[in-house]
Amino acid sequence: MAVASVAGERRKQLGAFYTPPEIVDALAKWAIRSPTDRVLEPASGEAVFVLESLRRLRSLGALHPAEQVLAVDIDPDSCASATDVLAAAGERASIICRDFFELVPDEQAPFMVAIGNPPYVRYHRFRGDARERGRSAAASVGVTLSGLASSWAPFVVHASRFLAPSGRLAFVLPAELLRADYAGPVREFLLERFGSVTVVTFERAVFPGAAIDTVLLLADGSGSRGLHSVQLNDVADLSSLPTRASVSASPIGRWSGMLTSIEGASALDRLRARGLLRRIGDVATVDIGFVSGANKFFVLDAAEIKRHGLSRRRFQPAIVRPSQLPGAVLTEHDAAQLIASDDCLVLNVSASGLAEQTTALGRYLRRGQRLGIHRGYKCRTDMALRQNGPEAAAALVDDLLMNEGVLDPIELEQVRRARDLLRNRRVNRGRSQA
């Protein structure tokens, strides 16, 4: 397994978590079928997929595999380590040190294989030009990605553009592929562009160091049409790919059913068929609850409230972490204990608190401003709406629009739409009161 040389913050920025060898091996075996296959690794990191692809090609009888493999990475350090890793193994490949989205498919001969583990950089870090290039690459094949899309999404779409019609794409991806709203256009694109699409899910975490569920995407331009799911315990079971029987999954909407075990899914089907299942929405209200956008700032315990000289009256008890809950059922007694613990108390304040010049609350909120809490995405949009109501939110939005440079173009568009929505609401409210 390659050891990550990219550290800390930069590692998160580049989405650099390197892939276990069992996965690399299984994906290379599945994707590379002929000694003449040309292979693309669009985010090559320390070249684990590149090295395995070269080995696989050689084992299939390729004489000059170095001429068939193209590796791309934006990070000069990763490119340098990739060169060293290959040299140490007595191998070579073409390595382009560049943003993958600057590569134009028409300028390359088609590839039979796109393989790798693209970066998973979430929307709040995946910003500016990098995000714009990814979005416009996806848009050029009709895939519209929202500003909330993580970086892996445009990688899937753009890499597919380099493939021959019967080519294969084998990627390690976050499970967001199956369930995130922003990934909907990618799911649709995959089913349209490829014959068969298989997703391999794992019961146990693949990357213990990264807080993310991982799946393998196996998309085949020539396979029998449809969406398939393979469920494995952990990476040790990968030796049975790709012959392992897979179950067909429903391609409509989200693919998150794939995360339920096969036994679990069929037990649910049996219960549903006998009319013994009810939707939770039939018996309860389901809501996301509060969104603070910055829990460290807005959720305090009693000691912190005291330290800042704030009034306890401004706070209300909240459930913020699953560990606060004793189990699936919260009794009145549990709730009373939670409240008495004074552990998680959320600040419930309107924008007018900011105007309080001399109070501890005013000082606390202005300190938040200095820390840039109000510039966080959720604080700028959702929170204004949920906590302060349309008038205050509209004022905040106008404020944001006047501060040039605070928002990037996509956010600006979202904020403009939110403002128009709020204006309409105010007009309608005015009419109904008239």
Ligand X SMILES: C[S@@+](CC[C@H](N)C(=O)[O-])C[C@H]1O[C@@H](n2cnc3c(N)ncnc32)[C@H](O)[C@@H]1O
**Where on the chain is the footprint of ligand X (CB under 6 A)?**
2, 14-19, 43-46, 48-49, 72-75, 78, 99-101, 116-117, 119, 130
Q: How far is the CB of 202 from ligand X (least distance, A)?
A: 16
Q: Which is nearer to ligand X, 14 or 191 (CB)?
A: 14
Q: Is-contact 29 244, C-beta < 8 A?
A: no
Q: Which is nearer to ligand X, 43 or 383 (CB)?
A: 43
Q: Which is nearer to ligand X, 17 or 202 (CB)?
A: 17
CA distances (Å), origin 144, targets 133, 137, 158, 319, 355: 13, 10, 12, 36, 41
Q: How far is the CB of 385 from ligand X (least distance, A)?
A: 33
In whole angstroms, give the CA distance from residue 235 to residue 22: 6
Q: Which is nearer to ligand X, 30 or 100 (CB)?
A: 100
Q: How far is the CB of 166 from ligand X (least distance, A)?
A: 24
Q: How far is the CB of 69 from ligand X (least distance, A)?
A: 13
- Nearest to ligand X by Cβ — which residue? 45
In whole angstroms, give the CA distance from residue 325 to residue 335: 9
Which pair of structure tokens corresponds to residue 16? 């650099």
> Residue 424 is inside which H or E element, if any?
helix 409-433
Q: Which is nearer to ligand X, 77 or 188 (CB)?
A: 77
Q: How far is the CB of 110 from ligand X (least distance, A)?
A: 20
Q: How far is the CB of 104 from ligand X (least distance, A)?
A: 14
Q: How far is the CB of 308 from ligand X (least distance, A)?
A: 40
Q: Edge-to-edge strands of the sheet including 111-116? A: 94-97, 69-73, 39-41, 111-116, 163-174, 214-220, 196-202, 226-232, 247-248
In whole angstroms, give the CA distance from residue 267 to residue 274: 11
Q: Which is nearer to ligand X, 149 or 400 (CB)?
A: 149
3-state secondary structure of 113: strand
Q: Which is nearer to ligand X, 92 or 314 (CB)?
A: 92
Q: How far is the CB of 91 from ligand X (least distance, A)?
A: 15
Q: Which is nearer to ligand X, 17 or 297 (CB)?
A: 17
CA distances (Å), origin 275, targets 163, 171, 197, 261, 280: 46, 39, 32, 21, 14
Look at the block and give the residue holding tokens 């049996």.
270
Q: How many CB atoms lie within 10 A of CB 354?
A: 15
Q: What CA dihedral angle connects 215, 216, 220 and 226, to 10 degrees?
A: -30
Q: Find how far residue 213's CA is from the centre of its chain.
A: 10
